[in-house]
Chains A and B, each alone.
Chain A
Amino acid sequence: MTKISARMRAGIIVAASVALIGFAALLPLLAIDIPGVFPGPSYTPGTLQVLAYAMLIAALALSYHLLFGLAGMLSFGHALFFAAGAYGLGVVLRNFAPEWLPPGGAFVAAILITIVFAIILSAFVGALSLRVTGISFAMVTLAFAQAGSVLVRRNPGKKTGGEEGLPLDVTRVPDALVGVLQTKNLYWLALAILVVVYLVTLWVEKSRAGHVVAAARENDLRVRVLGIRPYGVRLVIFAIAGVLAAIAGMGFLLLQSGVSPRVATPDFTLSLLVIVVLGGVGYRWGAVLGAIVYTLLDQRLTALAGSEAVASLPDILRIPLSQPLFILGTLFILVVLFLPGGIAGIPASVQAARRNQTVEEKELV
């Protein structure tokens, strides 16, 4: 009985996912307006921009979920790879232009070069930082990210644009991905990136490597006893997560028509951590949900902060309400304190409470 229902459940989930993706893909052609959530109707560039941004952050959060949720590696440097994707593609597009390639070909080549760069970078950083574990691992990754952040701000060889950031060089980007009028294409690109990243994440989780790191997260020894060194598997996961983050970063560069050093800062990684925890550590769709909730909240709270309704409040209400990060940070604290599974964990914790109850009842009998 359980087998059939499990298969049916899987079928329902797949169907629902396809429907959801289909709906998301149709959104630019519809005129859905959710006041208070969207800035305007769903076909407007403003709304599409926000949604595409949220989906890229969701893809990034998924890659972070591989590290933190699946493998239990608390990294404070994941922003490095996102920035590597964004800056990498930006710099390559600007400086790499072989004559013999058609414009579209140069674009694809730039993407491939950036991916190779991301693989090398994440494998290198992972190989070094995974030699330590726990808090020390967090610190080394933080240090590498900080180094990256310092580097892009320094503007070496005038390549990264320093504090001002790096605008996208549109000459080698296909026209379909340039300009406000093409936002719906960028939206579809972001959706595609999210779907691909989701599928890769799913595949990694179900793979043998995924099972091994998940086991090693709970108990290092158990894996070693089986003759597997967790180091190698962790490194693979770290590199995959890094490349996925870089892909999200490339989408970010195209969507925002540029990149600023903000995405390389430790604070950016921290907001990623907030997203994953908010959505629910260990849940794939928790990461997606967390990213979308976080981005929309951030966006709407910023709008709220600038509104006249807030400006006319007394100081004691106006000051906290005019700071989106204050509200998000407070929300995050409340989730950690009172909702350990995050948003995605609510059904599970309700179920667990019920199951515990039945177990206790059985024991009493």
Chain B
Amino acid sequence: MSTIVLLLITGLGLGALYFLVASGLSLIYGLMGVLNFAHGSFLTLGAFIGWEVARRLSDGTWWTLGASMIAGAIIGAAFAAATEFFLIRPLYLRHIEQVLVTVGLALASVALFEGIWGTDPIYVVNPEWLGLTTEILGARIPNSRFLLIGCAALVLLAIVLFLKHTRYGLIIRAGVENRSMVTALGIDVRRAFTLVFAIGGAAAGLGGVLASVYYGYVSAHIGGSLLIFAFIVTVIGGLGSLAGAAVASVLVAVLQQFANYYLWGTGDLAVVLALAAVLLIRPQGLMGKSVR
């Protein structure tokens, strides 16, 4: 029993990390039809900047962590918005080229991060509480998982509120369904493009700082390895569906944890097989609309 609880909650924690990446990916794809390979780089830059902030302030306090998270989110948003504006926008509606540009950016930026911060992992210092465990139903859960779950829940809530109650949220929801009709109502949908990139980048940047808490280190490849799982999550959940991304994040991460524990560490393979199965049975994903 305690093992199952442990696997469920740690799975939820990992799922939180996946969601922070997948939410932006899914929104961007839904609105713009762009599969963003540079999304991992938004996360990595957020993680590094968070670490830079933390080491300049006094290390290891909650205030420092909070400042890192804010800095990570801001830098992630700025990087993402700049990406949209300078690289994606000139290739308007040329989806393959847009994907290619993000591939190039991913390669170049990871190399640049290696150049700046080196190839070795940099270990981070966190508030003491995060290194401890809490007992729930006999399972000793690492406290950092609770931070991740809480933050992801807040991000989900914030995005939902934004989508539901603001004009731009309305434009984004409408644009995901039928972008050209939005422009035919006299709305410049390109501004919404920059905005979804910024939102996705902020979530990813925050995710970067949280990933460094989760793994205990920062490296230039931290985003790239999460990105593959985030892609899988996004496709399983249904491209363009925020709720799908949330549900699939949890499903994938929990599946991964269980397979790792009960099936001799085959979590990664299980996830890949799950993706293949979902795509073949239900190509539009769990909550996606049918293929357009």
**Which A residues have a C-beta under 8 Å from some C-beta of B?**
74, 128, 131-132, 134-136, 138-140, 142-144, 146-147, 150-151, 266-267, 270-271, 273-274, 277, 319-320, 322-330, 332-333, 336-337, 340
A329 and B101: CB pair below 8 A?
no
B279 and A140: CB pair below 8 A?
yes
Interface residues on B, range: 35 or more
Q: How far, in whole Å, are A142 and B112 apart by their CA atoms in the complex?
A: 25
Chain A hits for B35, CB < 8 A: 135, 138
A-B contact list, 29 entries, CB within 8 Å? A131-B283, A132-B279, A134-B291, A136-B283, A139-B231, A139-B232, A139-B279, A142-B228, A143-B232, A144-B276, A146-B268, A147-B273, A150-B269, A267-B224, A270-B106, A274-B104, A277-B100, A325-B110, A327-B108, A329-B106, A332-B103, A333-B87, A333-B101, A333-B104, A333-B105, A336-B97, A336-B101, A337-B87, A340-B97
B112 and A323: CB pair below 8 A?
yes
Chain B hits for A332, CB < 8 A: 100, 103-104, 107-108
B104 and A329: CB pair below 8 A?
yes
B107 and A270: CB pair below 8 A?
yes
Q: Report the nearest A residue to B264, measured CB to CB.
A: A154
10 A-B pairs with the lowest CB-CB distances in the bound complex, closest first: A329-B108, A325-B111, A329-B107, A326-B111, A319-B115, A332-B104, A323-B111, A333-B104, A147-B272, A323-B115
User: Shortest Cβ distance from A136 into chain B, in angstroms?
Assistant: 6
Q: How far, in whole Å, are A344 and B115 apart by their CA atoms in the complex?
A: 32
Chain B hits for A267, CB < 8 A: 107, 224
B268 and A143: CB pair below 8 A?
no
Q: How far, in whole Å, are A122 and B268 apart by their CA atoms in the complex?
A: 21
Q: How far, in whole Å, are A319 and B110 apart by their CA atoms in the complex?
A: 12
Q: How far, in whole Å, are A144 and B276 apart by their CA atoms in the complex?
A: 8
A325 and B91: CB pair below 8 A?
no
Instruction: Mark each residue of chain B from 5 to 18: 1 if its CB lies under 8 Å from any CB of chain A, else 0.
Output: 00000000000000
User: Shortest Cβ distance from B182 into chain A, in angstroms?
Assistant: 21
A151 and B269: CB pair below 8 A?
yes
Instruction: Mark each residue of chain B from 66 to 109: 1 if its CB lies under 8 Å from any CB of chain A, else 0.
Output: 00000000000000000000010011000011011101111111
B107 and A147: CB pair below 8 A?
no
